[in-house]
Amino acid sequence: MEYKSSKSKDRQSFNDGPKGKHKPKERKQVQVNVGVMVPHGTDLKPLRGKTLLLFTDPDVAAPDLLKQAVEKIGTFIMDMPEGPYVLLYHDCSEVVYVPGSERPFKLSEYKKEVGKPYARITFFICLEKHYKRVDDTSDSDSEIVITTRSTAKFNQADTLRKLVPVVPAVAVEGFHASASVPKKNTTNNADCIVGSDEELDFCDQDSVASSVDSSAEDMFIDDMDPILDRRPSSDLYLPEEDYDSKDALQHRKRLCLSSAEGGDRKSENGFYWTETEKWQSSDEADVEPPLLVFTPNQNPGPQILPNRCSSALQFFQLLFPKSMFQTIAGYTNSYAAKYEERKGKLWNFISQSDMKSYVALVIYMGMFRCSSLSDYWSESQHFSLSFPAKIMSYRKFLSISIVLHLSESREDEKNILKKGTAGYERLGKIQPLYQVIRESCKSYFHPFQNITIVERMVKPQAGTGLKQSLKSRSPNMGFKLFALTDCTCGYTWDFFVYEGKSCASRSEGLSYETVMALVDENMLGSGYKLFVDKFYTSPTLFTDLLDKKVLACGPVWPNRTGYPKSVKNKLLSNAPRGTMRWIRQDKLLFVEWKDSREVQMCSSFHKAYEGDTVQRKVRQDAHRTLEEIPVPAVVLDYSKNMEAVDSSDCVTEHFRAIHKPKKWYQCMFYHFLDIAVENAFIMQELVTKENGHADSAAGRKCFLQSCVT
């Protein structure tokens, strides 16, 4: 008995609270998601980029959950309008009862009803006046149906070609999301409704430039322009509720009759196409368009004084000047001093020569590749590299890599205060070097006649709002750059960093505005030939380029605005290889050619067919033999010029892979370094050939070795 009583006292001594009683266990909170609903037409639509996590009690009621959601979102949205608000489910119905019952809402019961974990449950808040306005609109007009997200997905998957009725836009108060009429998109022959590009003005500048933040960005990744790649005529489709009516049948009959009788139609961009016109075959003669005289503002090629540059380092310093090393060293010292001060340490200031040594080692690491950064300073007797240790210690190199900075810290702090306003500079942290490299590339070289625009992707490790993706180039996210490149030698003449759709005009489309921003006829001259891919090609662009005395050609999407809609003598899907069709509209030539698949081209300076042929393997009697098949001149010319163009070889790519910089502006620094190195190499090769020393032209590896040593 004494033993039991002593053990009982021992057990009670471990218990907390008075008289050895256990304290009641604290109830664990659960995690749900809360977002914002805004008007969109006569519907409510979730506001992208504003979904937040909310920790709450599992037995919370609807009024308490609404209060917590408003407080949570109000903490992160400074200009959030005054309430009252209502709490909504994802289908835009108000949160009052548990769905399918008359029981008052309780989070735990709702979770059991939907069968989802708490982390996958999302609620939305909406201004009460917006919710009532949408509700009143649906009650007042029985012909208009408010389409929720779930029904929108159903409509997109429908095989019938139907169009959701167009309804007047609803003005949005408080939240500044646009409510313009949706745009029709027919990518891959599927009808869907694409929201306005201005609907995310409420979001801050970083959130709207995320990688894939709308249907428009989805098209962008697929090399399509959300403004230009859509059906030009919406009168061919009727509202869903009237599709099978008698009036609809008569309307379709009238369309068929008018199509059979012929007549002119005008597309949205002002181009006329005549249904009586037919596609021509290769046997029918085409008139060669008048060519513009090539008159560049400067002699094409390197623009440097004779005998000014003789070594590889001198060519490199033309594009990456010595003063820039001192500037970057100063910015790095200023930032590193504050960075180390927060840790209670002192920063050993670096000099201009230290910065040069750092850049030399980065280039060196692109030539000799190791599995890790520390291997370059390995002291192994058999597997060691002596050069890095002679230039700089491993600790010093790593320290510079971490704190490398390209802008003044005080200016960065001022810029951060402007975030969310028109004065905020998104590229402020790279602006000094960014402008120097761009101006240097244009100052010391003038492009030859054939030019193109390419897209490049800089893969970062950091997370920012500037990330984009190239679906056909890389599965990873990165920073997208558009560059104007010379087709003859691959020189990058000009480029810019894409800052996101929120920072670009949407009047003509991103593809149009990108070309117009890079092709500066005042600096280039006239008579240039621009070769672009499907993302850029459009009749509107090529016509406007002709006004600037710039010729253009490239493949084109058949559903792009302005493409000929005539079906007479059109290229058939089962046509034999080498079959071609062409049609000329105004000053533009459109060509369809059958290779392994159909190819559509547009040009402002080619003749339809000039007797060219190309070898292809053709199956005959269970064997494949080489045959000469006809090929349009535009296809041949385009392939020849685009094959010679490739993105600049990245000498720092291996260093970025093993170092994995954490700052986005550091990734941009290494890419700017790539551009400077590659352009310098191209200039040295051209100057050597111009001086009659083509045999003594050094290779790229020798050029890099000369830069490092």
- Residue with the bigger pLDDT between 6 and 496: it is 496
SS (H, E, C) 380-433: CCCCCCHHHHHHCCHHHHHHHHHHCCCCCHHHHHHHHHCCCCCCCCCCCCCHHH
The pTM of the whole model exceeds 0.75: no
Q: What angle do CA 570, 576, 578 make, to 5 degrees?
A: 85
Query: What's the confidence (pLDDT) of residue 51?
Result: 84
* pLDDT > 90: percent of the chain: 32
**What DSSP string runs through 501-544?**
GGGS--SS-HHHHHHHHH--HHHHEE-EEEE--TTT--HHHHHH
- Residue with the bigger pLDDT between 507 and 656: it is 656
Is the confidence at residue 132, as pLDDT, over 50?
yes
**What DSSP string runs through 38-102?**
EEETTEEEEPTT--EEEEE-TT-BHHHHHHHHHHHHHHH-TTPPP--EEEE-TTS-BSSB-TTSS
Query: What's the confidence (pLDDT) of residue 344?
Result: 83
When pLDDT is cut at 50, 70 and 90, the band that residue 66 belongs to is very high
The 10s digit of each residue's pLDDT in 673-708 is: 999 999 999 999 898 888 776 554 568 888 888 888
- Residue with the bigger pLDDT between 156 and 540: it is 540
The 10s digit of each residue's pLDDT in 652-673 is: 777 788 888 888 899 999 999 9
Whole-number Cα distances in Å, 153 to 149, 190, 225, 607 = 6, 12, 22, 45
Query: What's the confidence (pLDDT) of residue 380?
Result: 83
Spatial distance between the Cα atoms of 39 and 278, rounded to a whole number of angstroms: 46
Average pLDDT along the chain: 76
Is the confidence at residue 175, as pLDDT, over 60?
no
The 10s digit of each residue's pLDDT in 442-476 is: 999 999 999 999 988 887 654 444 545 444 444 45
Q: Which of 128-142, 271-285, 649-663 has the highest mean pLDDT?
A: 649-663
Going by the DSSP 8-state scheme, the letter that residue 593 receives in this structure is E
Query: What's the confidence (pLDDT) of residue 202?
Result: 32
Mean pLDDT of 138-149: 35
- Residue with the bigger pLDDT between 380 and 516: it is 516
- Report CA 314 to chain centroid distance, whole Å: 36
Strand 264-266 to strand 467-468: parallel, antiparallel, or no bridges (unpaired)? Answer: unpaired
When pLDDT is cut at 50, 70 and 90, the band that residue 429 belongs to is very high
Query: What's the confidence (pLDDT) of residue 539?
Result: 93
Query: What's the confidence (pLDDT) of residue 473?
Result: 46
Structure tokens at 707: 């830069």
